[in-house]
Amino acid sequence: MLSEFKKFILRGNVLDLAFAVVIGAAFGAIVSSFVNDIIMPIIGFLTAGISFTDFKIILSPAQMSGSEIVKPEVAVTYGHLIEVVLQFLIISLVIFLLVKAIGKLQRKKEEEEQEAPPAKAEDIILLEEIRDLLKNSPD
C-alpha cells in the first residue's frame, strides 16, 4: 500500500497540482497585499478618507454599560465583500492577460511552423535530381 501511495504521489499530475496550489496561494497573498495596501488606500483617498472595511448596516447597536459592552453590535459588514470582489477582479484580469499572452505566443509559434516548408527527405531530393537529369538529357 505504501508503494502504491508513493507511486501515486510522484505522478506528474499530482506534483503539478501541488505546485499550482502553492503558487496560487502565494499569488493570492500578493494580490491581497496589493489591494489592501495600494488600491484601497487610493480609493479611500479619492472618497475623502472613507474606508470600505467600515461600510456596514447596523441591525442592532451595541449596548453599553459605562465602558463595558453588554451586548455586541449586530451588523452586516459589506465593506469587506467589496474588497474581496476587487481582489477577485484583479486576479481574473491578471489570469485573462496571462492566458491571452500565452495564446498569442502559441499562435505565433504555429504560424512560424506553418510558414517554413517541411524539409524534404534525402531520397526524395536524389530522385528529383535524377528526374531532372533524365528530362534534360538528349534521347
Cα–Cα distance for residue pair 87/32, rounded to 1 Å: 6
In terms of pLDDT, which residue wins out, 104 or 113? 104
In terms of pLDDT, which residue wins out, 46 or 57? 57
CA 74 to chain CA centroid, Å, is 37
Domains of the chain plus CATH, in order, are: 2-136 (1.10.1200.120)
Q: Residue 116's pLDDT is what? A: 67
Q: Over range 10-24, report the average pLDDT.
A: 80
| Residue 52 scores a pLDDT above 80 | no
CA 123 to chain CA centroid, Å, is 49
Q: Where are the beta strands (DSSP E) in the chain?
A: 57-60, 63-65, 68-71, 74-76
Q: Over range 82-91, report the average pLDDT.
A: 81
| Residue 37 scores a pLDDT above 90 | no
| Residue 74 scores a pLDDT above 90 | yes
| Residue 113 scores a pLDDT above 80 | no
Q: Over range 4-16, report the average pLDDT.
A: 76
Q: Over range 51-57, report the average pLDDT.
A: 81
**What are the φ and ψ backbone dihedral angles of 102, each rounded to 5 degrees?**
-65, -40
- Predicted model pTM: 0.52
